[in-house]
Amino acid sequence: MKLSLSALFLAACGLVHTTPTPRAAKPPRFFLIGDSTVAVNGGWGDGLLSYLKNPAEGDNRGVSGSTTVSWKSSGRWDTLLKDVGAAKSEFEPVVTIQFGHNDQKVMQLDEFHSNLVNIGNDIKKAGGTPIFITSLTRRTFSGGEVVQNLKDWAAETISAATDVGAQHLELNKASTDYVNAIGSQNADFYNWGPGDRTHLNPPGEIVFGRMVVDLLLENRGDFSAYFDSNEALSEKIKNGDEFGQYPPGARPGAKIWGPIQGRDIDEEDDSKFEDSESAENSVAVVNPEGGNEEDEVASDQFDLERYLNIGHLEIDES
């Protein structure tokens, strides 16, 4: 292909610009629904919301232990549809839908599929935009690779999105690929507690929340103006890089978050997190001589920026 002299001149002068990404007509208003791998204290939801910029809004309505059936109980469903309807004059109401971890224990795939289709269609009728998200992977390894025990449920989520005419984000694939890339030992640095390879500690929330943001913006580039970027973190996720020479936060004197001792968590049992919103957060200070020294502190004092070695959040140390 030959370029004209004028085109070459403009390029040399830096006057050739790419077409800017169009901005959504209305700012998004996110409603995140799902199980504990979305919810506050253990899921990626708050990580995603931490990147939101005004005037976009959002809240995390993930419920620990929930399924496509149980989440709709206790008035939650009616409240969601009402809130979607109320938001649509000022915002584009976007409802992200991620289930599967608990559904696989209590129902067949065809019922799961049907439930998702009904959820998506009802959200559309209420004036919202449903976006289906395949389940965050568990970080359990066998033979050097992640055990993909949510793959069939992810496939049904994609199929349901197609039936609804909605977009989907392949978080199951993206998170599986990333966890395989960093390996079992590094993946354990995101565990909620010892042996819990399902739920996320705060650094995990930020990393996998960023992963969901990046997947979302691949589909909805018009939302990019409403999210803070973190190119360094996005690049590390894309390349399958772990965070630094030491395990995240495991440098002498650094703080690592998590229920350090005595928490009996079955990594396959999401229902253990029914009361996760009221769970106490404990922090350990890494002892250079070995061992952990427990130190109870407020969760907002957790040194996320130091833990990830990437500047993103401004932590209130007051």
- CATH 3.40.50.1110 positions along the chain are 28-239
Q: Given 3-state DSSP classes, what are the helix, strand and coil percentages for the chain, each rounded to the nearest 5? A: 40, 15, 45
Selection from 316, 318, 299 nearest residue 255 by Cα: 299
Q: How much is the pLDDT for 12?
A: 42
Q: Between the ranges 14-23, 47-56, 279-288, where is the mean pLDDT highest?
A: 47-56
**Mean pLDDT across 171-188:** 97
Whether 24 shows a pLDDT value over 70: the answer reads yes
Whether 312 shows a pLDDT value over 50: the answer reads no
> How many CB atoms are closer than 10 A to CB 294?
10
**CA-CA distance, 241 to 132, in Å (whole number)?**
27
Q: How much is the pLDDT for 23?
A: 87
What mean pLDDT is reported for the chain?
Answer: 79
Q: What are the pLDDT digits (tens) for 157-168?
A: 999 999 999 999
Residue 292: pLDDT band (50, 70, 90) is very low
Q: How much is the pLDDT for 102?
A: 98
**Mean pLDDT across 62-90:** 98
Q: How much is the pLDDT for 147?
A: 98
Considering the domain 28-239, what is its CATH architecture?
3-Layer(aba) Sandwich (3.40)
Ramachandran class of 253: left when φ > 0, alpha when ψ lies in -120 to 50, beta otherwise:
left
Q: Which residues pair with 32 in a beta bridge?
A: 60, 96
Percent of the chain with pLDDT over 90: 67
Q: How much is the pLDDT for 242?
A: 77
Q: What are the pLDDT digits (tens) for 207-223?
A: 999 999 999 999 999 99
Q: Tell me if 69 sits within 8 A of 115, measured CB to CB.
A: yes
Residue 46: pLDDT band (50, 70, 90) is very high
**CA count, 13 A, side-chain hemisphere, 294:** 8
Q: How much is the pLDDT for 19?
A: 56
Whether 66 shows a pLDDT value over 50: the answer reads yes
Which amino acid is located at 164 in the chain?
V
**Mean pLDDT across 218-239:** 96
**Global confidence as pTM:** 0.76
Percent of the chain with pLDDT over 70: 69
Q: Between the ranges 154-158, 239-243, 247-251, 286-290, where is the mean pLDDT highest?
A: 154-158
